[in-house]
Amino acid sequence: MAHIPDDLKYSKDHEWVRSSAKGQVKIGITDHAQRQLGDVVYVEQPKSGDRFEASEPFGSVESVKAVSEIYMPVAGTIESVNESLSDEPEQLNTDPYGEGWIVQVKLADPKELDELLTAAAYADYVKQESE
């Protein structure tokens, strides 16, 4: 079973969201997602200042198996991107909830966080999806 930290929120597209500074969140892909992808070899990221709506693709992850789009779990503006992923995309595999974060976003509406899944709800979703 994939690791699912309790202190994060999750999307059904397998992204996680961690609240950081006021009105800001970090976003990455879940442990389940990186396991499905296999060894990550490249991460395409947006630029700082780009704005995205919830559920809109904002980048992609290329692995030895496939290229998969990454979807914005909440609407907002990109504050920063994890530059280290350019040289070390495998951080998505080795530390998906830490050094493997992808973008930091300034939320358009912090209430959108309430619409995301809790860890327990995400675990149930992953279980149903794999049955």
Per-residue pLDDT tens listing for the chain (131 residues): 679 999 999 999 999 999 987 899 999 999 999 999 999 999 999 999 999 999 999 999 999 999 999 999 999 999 999 999 999 999 999 999 999 999 999 999 999 999 999 999 999 999 999 88
Q: What CATH number is given for 9-112 in this structure?
A: 2.40.50.100
Burial (CB < 10 A; 0-12, 13-18, 19+), residue 49, is exposed
Q: Is the dihedral of CA 108, 98, 66, 14 positive or negative?
A: negative
